[in-house]
Amino acid sequence: MSLIFSRQCEYALQAVTYLALKPEGEMTSIKELAKKLGIPYHFLGKILQDLSYKGLLASQKGPTGGFRLAMPAKDITLFHVVEAVDGVGFTKNCVLGFPECSGQNPCAVHEKWAGLRDGIYSMLVSKNIAQVAREMRKPEYV
Amino acid sequence: MSLIFSRQCEYALQAVTYLALKPEGEMTSIKELAKKLGIPYHFLGKILQDLSYKGLLASQKGPTGGFRLAMPAKDITLFHVVEAVDGVGFTKNCVLGFPECSGQNPCAVHEKWAGLRDGIYSMLVSKNIAQVAREMRKPEYV
DNA sequence: TCATATTCAGAGTTCTTTATCCTAAATTAG
DNA sequence: CTAATTTAGGATAAAGAACTCTGAATATGA
Ligand code: FES
Ligand code: FES
């Protein structure tokens, strides 16, 4: 079981932050990304394709081709990626799965969850991916 | 996509807290639970069966049969249910999906996530399900 | 120019989760 | 004892997520 984000979304987040480390405009192949990040090659291809379709990445075919961010890294947050891949359900839904989540008929943990949800949101938007990428202390990001 | 807990786990949490409202020892049928909580009947049956197997619930067949908590509601927390159904992965895994999550090679949001993860854990253990059930402001719980 | 190697694009497949169905076994009430 | 009710449990179907295979586009260099 994946936690809050789907596997696809996790891979997307890893890949996009990896791209943020590259000089602006430089193309990076699926091969390099898949190898460095340990993500299944073809699956990653489909994910990046999807991110291109949604306007977050730009792609180019052929040798020397690959993917790059469609806009400056400082203008992208992790939230943009989550929004594009998983949607914004986690900002609206009841953590216990009840059909409605509002102050009207709150479940027992509604208040507590509201705070945590805000925390998650702020974790995703408080830094742009250029900063995020630099703060990664992961061997994958070398 | 469900958020942090699987659908199955959400249903389990709703059902167990519902049972916590009943007088200790009283049996409640799948029928009543499914109807009140709006959970698919047969699916809920499997979930409750599983919770019985894991020792959280006790069951009895025949008319007047049903399910009840296997121990006093004050001794059960939401975490017990999550643990039984989804496991404790969320307390250990990297929120960005990296294979390792530790202070050794932290991802960019590791610290922030550590705090949120603790918050989620405390949300699940700070009250027993008797309290949780009483605090539900849900029409389902009547 | 054109063959070839490289890379993305998109359809297709497998696996897991969710949900349904059906029959058997246990238990109660009459 | 019989009929009604309820859980137990296997089998199956539908939906969604995860992953794979094949083909189209493109740059390079012979
Ligand atoms: S109603 Fe449950 S989190 Fe809002
Ligand atoms: S390494 Fe990412 S949350 Fe710990």
Domain with residue A31: its CATH number is 1.10.10.10
Structure tokens at A115: 């705070």
With a CB cutoff of 8 Å and minimum separation 6, the contacts of B54 are B84
Residues in chain A closer than 8 A to B108 (CB atoms): 17, 127, 131-136
Number of domains in chain B: 1
Query: Would you give the distance in Å from CA B66 to the centre of its chain?
Result: 19
**pLDDT of res. A3:** 83
Q: Which residues face B28 on adjacent strands?
A: B67
Structure tokens at A120: 């998650």
Per the structure, the complete domain to which residue A51 belongs is given by 7-141
Q: Does residue B49 have a pLDDT over 90? A: yes
The verdict on a CB contact (< 8 Å) between A109 and B123 is yes
Is residue B45 in a domain?
yes
Q: Does residue B5 have a pLDDT over 80? A: yes
Q: Does residue A1 have a pLDDT over 90? A: no
Confidence grade of residue A142 (pLDDT, cut at 50, 70, 90): confident
CA distance A122 to B75: 35
The verdict on a CB contact (< 8 Å) between A3 and B6 is no
Condensed to tens digits (0 to 9), the pLDDT of residues B9-42 reads 999 999 999 999 999 999 999 999 999 999 999 9
Condensed to tens digits (0 to 9), the pLDDT of residues A4-25 reads 999 999 999 999 999 999 999 9
Is residue A2 in a domain?
no
Is residue B115 in a domain?
yes
Is residue B63 in a domain?
yes
Is residue B2 in a domain?
no
- Name the residue with the closest Cα to ligand 1, atom 1: A101
Is A115 an 8 Å CB contact of chain B?
yes
Which has the closest alpha carbon to B22: B11, B12, B32?
B32
| Alpha-helical regions (H) of A1-142 | 7-20, 30-37, 41-53, 78-85, 110-125, 129-135
Is residue B1 in a domain?
no
> pTM of this prediction?
0.95
Query: Would you give the distance in Å from CA B81 to the centre of its chain?
Result: 4
Query: 10 Å Cβ neighbour count for B62?
Result: 7
Q: State the amino acid at position B116 in one-letter form.
A: L
Give the angle B101-B105-B110 at the CA atoms, nearest 5°: 55
**pLDDT of res. B60:** 97
- Choose one of B92, B94, B117 to mutate for the ligand 2 pocket test, by most ligand atoms within 8 angstroms of C-beta: B94
The verdict on a CB contact (< 8 Å) between A1 and B3 is no
Structure tokens at B16: 């167990």
Is residue A1 in a domain?
no
Is residue A111 in a domain?
yes
CA distance A56 to A33: 16
Q: What is the CA(B30)–ligand 2 centre distance, in A?
A: 40
The ligand 1 atom at the shortest distance from the C-alpha of residue A95 is 3
| Alpha-helical regions (H) of B1-142 | 7-20, 30-37, 41-53, 78-85, 110-125, 129-135
- Name the residue with the closest Cα to ligand 1, atom 2: A94
